[in-house]
Amino acid sequence: MSSAAAIKAYNNVGIDSGVTSADPHKLISMLYQGALLAIANAKNSILRRDIPARGKAISHAIKIINNGLNLSLDKEVGGDLALNLSALYEYMSHRLLFANINSDMEALDEVARLLGELKEAWESIRQPGLMTGTPAVQSVKPEQLVYARG
């Protein structure tokens, strides 16, 4: 996926930020953050018993996961790792759907925990002070990157 396609995917899920100036590595981090924020909003909506807001927030998180994170995977380069991540994203989407139907905080917490761990792992491979452009990684071979680079 090119940088332009990643920006389009990011814009399609409605997260507003410094997308146009972000490199592909940062875009993925922003997608994780947006999904986590949507889940936090869903949890607050459940506590307020605001069903429309809950549905909107969970739908937003699902869009970010499916149309942002999952579509950004490069399954040819990433191999089994990318396929496993894709399956995990699908699982998360199903859990979010379950959470929406059942106002299930535990399902939301589970997905938030999984996303948080993935976000932390993704951010740990970025070298500090990296210029915009291609993402650099520490002790990870280029063929191990599962997200397409611009």
Residue at 119 is within a domain: yes
Residue 107 counted as domain residue: yes
pLDDT value of position 146: 61
75-102 and 51-63 helices, crossing angle to 10°: 170
Q: Looking at the domain assignment, is residue 131 inside a domain?
A: no
Residue 143 lies in a domain: no
β-pair partners for 73: 147
Report, as ranges of residue numbers, the positions in the chain whose pLDDT lies below 50.
15, 17, 131-144, 149-150
Query: Does residue 83 contact residue 75 with C-beta atoms inside 8 Å?
Result: yes
Tell me the CATH number at 109: 1.20.120.340
CB 96 within 8 A of CB 55: no
Query: Does residue 36 belong to any structural domain of this protein?
Result: yes
Residue 26 counted as domain residue: yes
Confidence (pLDDT) at 134? 41
Question: For position 33, what pLDDT does the model report?
Answer: 96
How much is the pLDDT for 63? 97
pLDDT at 78: 87
The rounded distance, in Å, linking the Cα atoms of 91 and 93 is 5
User: Per the domain annotation, does 70 fall within a domain?
Assistant: yes
pLDDT of residue 102: 96
Whole-number Å distance between alpha carbons of 95 and 97: 5
Place of tokens 């996961």: 65
Q: What is the pLDDT of residue 6?
A: 57
Backbone torsions φ then ψ of 103, nearest 5 degrees: 50, 45
Cα 41 to Cα 33: distance, rounded to the nearest angstrom? 12
**How many domains is the chain partitioned into structurally?**
1
In a domain, 136, yes or no: no
Print the domain residue range for 50.
Answer: 3-126
Quickly list DSSP for 106-130.
Answer: HHHHHHHHHHHHHHHHHHHTSPTTP
